[in-house]
Amino acid sequence: MRIICPVKRVPDTAATKAVKDDLTLDRESVETVLNANDEWSIEEALRIKERTPDTEVIVLCVGPEQAQTTVRKALSYGLDGAIQITDDAIAGSDAAGIAEIIGSALADEEFDLILMGNQSSDARTLLVPAMFAEYLDIPALTYARKLDIDGAKLRVERETASGYQVVEAEMPAVVSVVEAINEPRYPTFKGIMAAKSKPMTVKSLDDIGLDPTQVGLANAWTQVLEVTPKPPRQAGEKVEDDGSGTVGAKALADFLTSRKFI
Ligand SMILES: Cc1cc2nc3c(=O)[nH]c(=O)nc-3n(C[C@H](O)[C@H](O)[C@H](O)COP(=O)(O)OP(=O)(O)OC[C@H]3O[C@@H](n4cnc5c(N)ncnc54)[C@H](O)[C@@H]3O)c2cc1C
């Protein structure tokens, strides 16, 4: 079986972000990490690889040259190789642009399953898995909290607000996973060392047959009109108790009632 894991390089969620004059995120001024949700898809791919002989897992990342660190991090979990799509013209692409790039990159690749996180921690549109499945004309099983494979058949428990749905499809297909699916492992020292020499193919837009005028900021379907910084945190209200516990408890109950928590 051949599994592809698309992974995204994202700014560290704890970092203070800066926005450039064109209202795009300044990704170079902050520390970047592997998107957390992609650790669950990598873990799921590893578990399939461990129980299915002759399974190869390939990382796919769309991002600038510097995203190679993210790709190597993904490889350090024990994956087999990587494809990086990098091109100056990609900068500023929105979800539709990224989906088109991933779709074009995969059009000439052999694969049975595409396993990915359901959302990125920065843009968080949750659109990419379904968008490029549509592009490739294959099924998308999204929000998977459990994945079973029987021959070519996939069976997914799909998390919803009220419980879960059971959905099935034949491979090839896209499956996007949620946190509940597994507990990701940590990379081992051996894995980190091995990641340095794993095969990595770097491709440009031209290599995957995409015209630069199809993607990038100028060709995005969406446009950022305004960016507003988060308001500074308000000082909290301190409640002094007289030692009886009654004053403090009443103040706490009043506070929770006023906010409709109780
Ligand atoms: C270099 C670069 C510059 C960008 N600049 C801008 C910008 O200025 N303005 C803007 O609006 N958008 C920009 N984007 C696009 C944006 O950050 C998102 O990648 C895009 O909108 C996809 O949406 P999402 O991250 O919300 O994906 P989601 O649908 O939330 O993510 C779901 C899954 O899709 C996969 N995925 C998402 N992105 C990638 C990727 N790049 N490579 C591989 N797998 C991926 C991951 O598996 C992820 O878990 C840029 C992207 C890149 C790579």
Residue 44 parent element (H or E): helix 37-51
Give the CA angle between residues 59, 61, 67 to the nearest 5°: 115
Binding-site residues, ligand 1, Cβ < 6 A: 6-8, 24-25, 35, 37-38, 60-64, 90-95, 98, 116-120, 122-129, 217
pTM more than 0.75: yes
d(CA 11, CA 153): 36
- Judged against a pLDDT cut of 90, whether residue 188 lies above it is answered with yes
pLDDT digits (tens, 9 = 90+) for 210-231: 999 999 999 999 999 999 888 8
Beta-carbon contacts of 80 under 8 Å, excluding residues fewer than 6 positions away, are 56, 57, 58, 198, 199
Residue to probe by mutation, ligand 1, list 128, 135, 177, most atoms within 8 Å of CB: 128
pLDDT at 166: 98
pLDDT at 59: 98
Strands 113-117 and 164-170: unpaired
Write the DSSP string, 49-67: HHHSTT-EEEEEEES-GGG
Fill in the amino acid letter for 147: L
Question: Using an 8 Å Cβ cutoff, are 75 and 82 in contact?
Answer: yes
Closest protein CA for atom 20 of ligand 1 = 95
pLDDT at 237: 82
pLDDT at 25: 85
In this prediction, residue 57 has a pLDDT band, given cuts at 50, 70 and 90, of very high
Token pair belonging to 231: 């308001």
Residue to probe by mutation, ligand 1, list 3, 7, 8, most atoms within 8 Å of CB: 8
